[in-house]
Each structure stands twice: as structure tokens, then as C-alpha cells.
Amino acid sequence: MNAQNHALGPYPVQRVLRDDGTLDPALDPGLGIDEVVHIYKSLVQTRTLDKRMTALQRQGRIGFHVGSLGEEAAILGATYAVRETDWIFPCYREFGSALMRGLSLQKLVDNMFGNENDTVKGRQMPDHYTCREKCWGSISSPVGTQITQGVGFAWAAKIDGKKQATLIFFGDGATSTPEFHSGMNMAAVFKVPSIFFCRNNGWAISVPTDRQTASETFAQKAEAYGMPGVRVDGNDLFAVIAVTRQAVQRAERGEGPTLIEALTYRMGAHSTSDDPDRYRDNQELEPWAALDPLERVRRYLVAQKAWDSGAEQSLIDDVESRFKRAVAIAEATAPPSLESMFDDVYQSLPWNLVEQKKELLEGPRAPKSH
């Protein structure tokens, strides 16, 4: 996917942040400078943690990590744009979104290690966190399943008369799944208040976008389902917030769902289990490096005299310090207990599981070196 091709096709790309660091007033979301600084801190935190968690995996201390290098503005911009009561259904690159919503750094790191303080009790892979108390759903590895789940949740909220929308994250690869079709069709037919947020980052693991669809854009797929489709510069924080807010307002008015195609690029590997050098020429990264979403926001803040290199380094030092403390605590925390595998399955355990639990706890233990 070429960075220069994003302006082509039948759907114009919405942009706010100009090359000179000023904002286009036609789509400016009207953020106060303190708001921009707040979001920028989350962007820097996300990128810093990305590097640290990748290093942990390389050291063999955690098993897996999915990064968001180059896609931070799309993820955090959309998260910031929805209301706190709107539910977010993540893909698997949205740890920055979860932290912005209120997931504690310690809980995130506990999940990476799968210890007894892990919310999902070590039953999931690392990077499969959740934060239900902040209206933030659980990550699941199967591609696209969150799409139908998010639509179902929003439909239930509509039936109950609740003023809630759902923000559903997914990648371009998920548009090839049955869940995408089912979710889009149902949401449009029943005017469900869902925002379908497609991060078109160029790759579905090793499959490029041009092998994913024959249509010029993903946004135009919305027309066949009977909903608006919008293309936005996913590396433009201000534009992402603007178009997502418009989609929320549309949902609030009872006008149904919106499909947003955020044009960005996956600058890193699909995950720590992936080697992009096997299928991608590194020269493809060069034009996207010039569109780094963090650098674009940083230039804006510096021009507004609201940020400098000292503030940047102080922030990075703080994030790294908090991360090191969280890792130390997580590594010193015991793994989940054996009996915890029976929790959260039934409200009351049936007799056969009661017997199995008793046999497990009273039976012989394998030696630790086994």
C-alpha cells in the first residue's frame, strides 16, 4: 500500500492537520491545547510501552506481544472521540485504548505474565486484556468475532432504550470474514448505533491490502449495506477524532451505523511471532515514516509552545519507571491457583465438576521439574 495512493478513489480522505502544523478549520474538532497534550501523552506512553513489551518477549519473560507502531493516532483518536458510556470492542492492537479508558498499567502487565492478579486468570494469551468496568470488552484472537459481538451489544442497548454506541475496531483483513458481512448488514437493517472502525494498515499478517479486496476502498463497502462510509487519514489525530465524533452523533440521533476506514500503516511486525522482512520490502516504510502520527502531533504542540524536548524525556522516563515497577510486581506474583480453572464457568458447579475439582486438589502433583 503506497502512502501517496490514499488520496485516490471515490471517497476523499478527511484530513485536518496540515503539513505546516496548522489545522484546517473545515473539520477541526475544536480540541483545547490541554486536551491535545493529554492525548499526546497517551500516544507517547503507548509507543514507549510497545518497545518495552517487545523487549520483554525477546528476553523470554512473556510469550507474546502485538504492537501498534505507526497506528497509535487511529486507535487513541477514535477512543478519545467516543463517550465514556460507549462500549469499545477491540481487535488486538488496542492496549493504548484500554489504558486511555482506565485499565491500570499493573493490570495490563499482570495479563502479560498471566499471574493470579490477571483479570482473565491466565486463561488467555498475553495481550488479551479486558476492562469491563470501563466499558471496554475482551480481546479474542479469532479474526472479526468482535464485530458481531459489538453489533449485538449495541442492538441490545437500543432495545433497552440506553444511549450507548459501540466502537468496533478491526483490521482490513477482517473485512474478508463472515462476521464483517453479518455485522454490517444487521447494523444497517436495524439502525444499530455501531461505529465500524477499520484500521487499513496495509497488511493482514503477510497478506497485502490489494490481495484483500478488489474495491478501490473499504469505505465504499458501506454503500452496499446502506450506511455512510468515511475515509480518514489514520495518522492525523485531529481528523480521526472529528470523523469518529460525527459517527457518534449520527448514532445518537438514531440514524444507525457508520463505517470508518482509517488509512495508516503497520510499521512493525504483525506480532512478536512475525518476521515482516520475509514478505515486505523495508523501502515501503520510508514514506510512512515521514507521516509518523506522533511526530505530527509533536510539531503541532511545539508550534503552540505547549511542548518541548524536556517534557518529552520526562514523560518517557516516567512511563519506563512505572513499567519497571509493574513488571517487578508481576514477576513476583504467584501464578493462578489450580482451583481457579473452575471459576466463572457455572454459577453453581455441577456435581461432576465438583468431583473433578476435588480429585485435582487432592491428587498427586507432578514434580516442578517435570
State whether residue 95 is helix, strand or coil. Answer: helix
Ranges of the chain whose pLDDT falls below 70: 1-10, 368-370
Residue 268 belongs to a domain: yes
The pair phi, psi for residue 260, each rounded to 5°, is -110, 125
pLDDT of residue 304: 95
Residue 12 belongs to a domain: yes
pLDDT of residue 17: 95
Tell me, yes or no, whether 257 and 358 share the same domain.
no
Q: Is 322 a known active-site residue?
A: no
In this structure, what CATH number is given to the domain that contains residue 94? 3.40.50.970
pLDDT of residue 4: 42
Tell me, yes or no, whether 328 and 358 share the same domain.
no
Catalytic residue among 270, 296, 298, 300: 270
Residue 170 belongs to a domain: yes
Residue 116 belongs to a domain: yes
Tell me, yes or no, whether 261 and 352 share the same domain.
no
Tell me, yes or no, whether 278 and 364 share the same domain.
no
Closest Cα to residue 248, out of 225, 230, 235? 230
Beta bridge partners of 260: 197, 230
Q: How far is CA 98 from the centre of its chain?
A: 8
The whole-angstrom separation of Cα 147 and Cα 174 is 9
Residues whose CB is less than 8 angstroms from the CB of residue 255 and which lie 6 or more positions away in sequence, other chains included: 191
Tell me, yes or no, whether 220 and 353 share the same domain.
no
Catalytic residue among 65, 93, 266, 298: 266
Tell me, yes or no, whether 141 and 210 share the same domain.
yes
Beta bridge partners of 261: 198, 231
The pair phi, psi for residue 363, each rounded to 5°, is -80, 175
Tell me, yes or no, whether 283 and 354 share the same domain.
no
Residue 191 belongs to a domain: yes
pLDDT of residue 6: 44
The whole-angstrom separation of Cα 271 and Cα 183 is 26
Residue 341 belongs to a domain: no
pLDDT of residue 5: 42
Tell me, yes or no, whether 263 and 367 share the same domain.
no
The whole-angstrom separation of Cα 307 and Cα 330 is 33
Tell me, yes or no, whether 269 and 365 share the same domain.
no
Q: Is 266 a known active-site residue?
A: yes
Residue 26 belongs to a domain: yes
SS3 percent helix, strand, coil of the chain, rounded to 5, is 50, 10, 40
Q: For residues 94, 27, 230 and 165, what is the CA-based torsion angle, rounded to 10 degrees? A: 60
Catalytic residue among 38, 123, 211, 279: 279
Residue 331 belongs to a domain: yes
Tell me, yes or no, whether 228 and 364 share the same domain.
no
Indicate the number of domains in the chain.
2
pLDDT of residue 368: 66
The pair phi, psi for residue 15, each rounded to 5°, is -135, 150
The whole-angstrom separation of Cα 82 and Cα 84 is 7
pLDDT of residue 290: 93
Cβ neighbours of 160 (radius 10 Å): 8
State whether residue 80 is helix, strand or coil. Answer: helix
Tell me, yes or no, whether 326 and 178 share the same domain.
yes
Tell me, yes or no, whether 221 and 239 share the same domain.
yes
Domain interval for residue 62: 3-336
